[in-house]
Amino acid sequence: MQRIDKIISDHTYYTRKEIKKMISQGAVYVNGEEVKRPESKYDENNVALTINGKEIEIKKHLYLLLNKPKGYVSATEDGAQKTVLDLIPTEYKYRDLFPAGRLDKDTTGLMLITDDGEFAHNILSPRKHVPKEYEVTLDIPVTLAMVEEFKNGVNLNDGECKTADLEITGECTAKVTITEGRYHQIKRMFGCFGAKVLELNRIRMGNLYLPKGLKLGEVKEATQDELQKIQERK
Ligand code: URA
């Protein structure tokens, strides 16, 4: 059982003061009955809540899909630079959101932003082998030697990479699938061949492809189906 003002503040961006005021104005209803006092207790898992007649969904966690543009760092705050959280609409900001994994500042594409630490761990841990696929453009042609070496495990200065899939799609373009998320991993893997990554765009996490309609900089709540897919190994 939880105080109603706490339940509301956990699931909306209203402050405690605003909530108290709305309750005193008779704007808050639970299970069809007006709430009279902020300290009234309810079962969080079993409240149908409305504020000013609008239904408020009680969700344990929030899962947002972002198509990350260039120019944003994958952090919750940064004194000097814009972060991916700056792209999140204010209506979601009451949550303790963080990006599940990092994309470099100049990398674009699919990113999950959530407040569910356990879920994030499950899709990021190299032991879970959840694949992440990227489109890449290099400054030199992609070679079969790269394909072979990516499969065998490229040796970086912090150890050998797990096997990675490299599919050539054009002279200087390819699709790369990795299951780890080491610092600048793909750039360093190509760096071993003297190649510079010019463009990097993540198009898939698990079995979930970047949703078609999601434009650069846009955010959408993930559906149950999308959350299921993001955890799958292909
Ligand atoms: N590998 C990189 O080098 N950068 C990214 O942003 C993601 C994977």
> How many C-beta atoms surround the C-beta of residue 25 within 10 A?
9
**How far apart, in whole angstroms, are the C-alpha atoms of residue 172 and residue 193?**
13
CA separation, residue 16 to residues 1, 54, 174 (Å): 18, 18, 52
The tokens of 232 are what?
Answer: 């799958």
Fold held by 2-56: 3.10.290
Instruction: Return the domain boundaries, the chain.
Output: 2-56, 63-126+208-230, 132-205
Cite the active site residues: 104
Q: Note the pTM of the prediction, 2 decimals.
A: 0.90
SS3 for 28?
A: strand
DSSP strand pairing (197-205 vs 108-114): parallel
Is 63-126+208-230's fold the same as 132-205's? yes
Mean pLDDT score of the chain, rounded to an integer?
95
In which band, very low, low, confident or very high, does the pLDDT at 234 lie, cut at 50, 70 and 90?
Answer: low
CATH 3.30.1330.40 fits 132-205, yes or no: no
Q: Which atom of ligand 1 is nearest to the CA of 202?
A: 7
- Within 6 Å (CB) of ligand 1, which residues are found? 103-104, 107, 184-187, 200
Name the closest-CA residue to atom 2, ligand 1: 184
The tokens of 133 are what?
Answer: 């696929």
Q: In this predicted structure, what is the pLDDT of residue 128?
A: 85
**Residue 91 alpha carbon to ligand 1 centre in Å:** 30
Share of the chain above pLDDT 70, in %: 100
Stated length of the chain: 234
**How far apart, in whole angstroms, are the C-alpha atoms of residue 126 and residue 52?**
46
